[in-house]
Amino acid sequence: MPAAWAKAYALRAGIGIGVVVALLLTGCGDEDSGSSSTTNHSGRGASSSVNGEDLGEALGEAGSTTTTTADPARPTMLLRLGVVSVPATAADGLDRCSNPISYAAENLVDQVNESAWRMDGDGTGQSLTFSLDGSHHLSEVGIVPGYAKIDPCDGADRFVQNRRVTTATWLFDDGSSVTQPLVDTPTMQTTAVNVTTTNVVLRIDGVTSSPERDFTALSEVTVRGS
């Protein structure tokens, strides 16, 4: 509706011009990284409620309801994690070019998939704890469930050589938790959450069996939120 028509329509219907302008703006979709809008366009006139008055009825139009809701499961930004504790750390090693390799916990949050934390043996039942720089609302968590590296010297696939995590559970400050089944591939795998927390605990619920090298490894852990 053009602005001039809207003004005339408002005066004739006995409602404020500001309300009509607000109604017009409702039809302009807005999308950002932290929310999404859902608009039902099945009818001609949009019916909203302002101060208890049905504008659709005031304007003499029958229509659908327009709603805008935040989607807490939609990722917003990558949050910085600090490693608080891991159950154990395997000794440093060498690649096939005799370069030293560390499996320190810091490798979990360095945003490099080719590095990894790992521990000796079967890590089932063990937990890793991470901290955020204060309280944050989380929308997504994720892990690379193994050692996602191809040795540059001989082409060996470290992912299949070590144990990989098959199922993990994320636990948060309020006592809530989310269990994440994982696919046996060396990629970042995420799951949606909706929680506010300052700490994140990752519990390993299951790993692959009969490894060539008896270590449990994880390459990367990420969280997204606001």
Quick: pLDDT tens for 113-123: 999 999 999 99
CB 144 within 8 A of CB 104: no
pLDDT over 60 at 36, yes or no? no
pLDDT at 35 over 50: no
79 pLDDT above the threshold of 60: yes
With both helix axes pointing from N to C terminus, report the angle between 3-13 and 17-26 in degrees, rounded to the nearest 10.
130
Higher-pLDDT residue of 46, 156: 156
Mean predicted confidence (pLDDT) in 20-37: 35
66-89: average pLDDT:
73
Element (DSSP H or E) covering residue 26: helix 17-26
HSE (side-chain half, CA atoms, 13 Å) at 217? 29
Closest CA to 127 of 199, 191, 74, 63: 199
User: In this structure, how many other beta carbons lie within 10 angstroms of the beta carbon of residue 171?
Assistant: 19
Q: Exposed e or buried b for every residue in 188-220, given b needs 16+ CB within 10 A? A: ebbbebebebeebbbbbbbbbeebeeebbbbbb
With tokens 């998939």, the residue in question is 113
pTM to 2 decimal places: 0.67
